[in-house]
Amino acid sequence: MTQQHPTGSRVGRHDAGQAVGLILISVALVAACAMGMIAAARHVSDRSRAQSAADAAALAGVDGGRAVSMQAARRNDATLISFERGGDSTGFTVTVEVAVGDEHALARASSVP
């Protein structure tokens, strides 16, 4: 059965209210996309911060050892996971791993230019 809509168009009995459903589905899809984009942005941000912290910790470790490397990581809101120093009489290399949230990053610095 059809009925006359106030605007003059005919609306079927089963057509009434379908726009509300479509709007709700659209809003849900937009919200899901927004949450996914926020999670992706957080991942990229944490990855970048982890790499910056690892670079700073490795460079600090060349001059000051593990303790200074750990301080550099903390100043960059990161946790020092590992610190390795190796080399010979010509120089040495420091390799560090840091974590920011769930992201880990490695960096290496050398005492030799």
CATH number of the domain within which 44 lies: 3.30.1300
Q: Domain range for residue 73?
A: 15-110
Q: Is 62 inside any structural domain?
A: yes
Q: Is 36 inside any structural domain?
A: yes
Q: With helix as H, strand as E and coil as C, how does the chain read?
A: CEEECCCCCEEECCCCCHHHHHHHHHHHHHHHHHHHHHHHHHHHHHHHHHHHHHHHHHHHHHHHHHHHHHHHHHHCCCEEEEEEEEEECCEEEEEEEEEECCEEEEEEEECCC
How many folded domains does the chain comprise?
1
User: pLDDT digit of tens for each residue in the chain (113 aa)?
Assistant: 555 656 666 656 666 678 888 899 999 999 999 999 999 998 899 999 999 999 999 999 999 999 999 999 999 999 999 999 998 878 999 999 999 999 999 999 999 87
Q: Is 2 inside any structural domain?
A: no
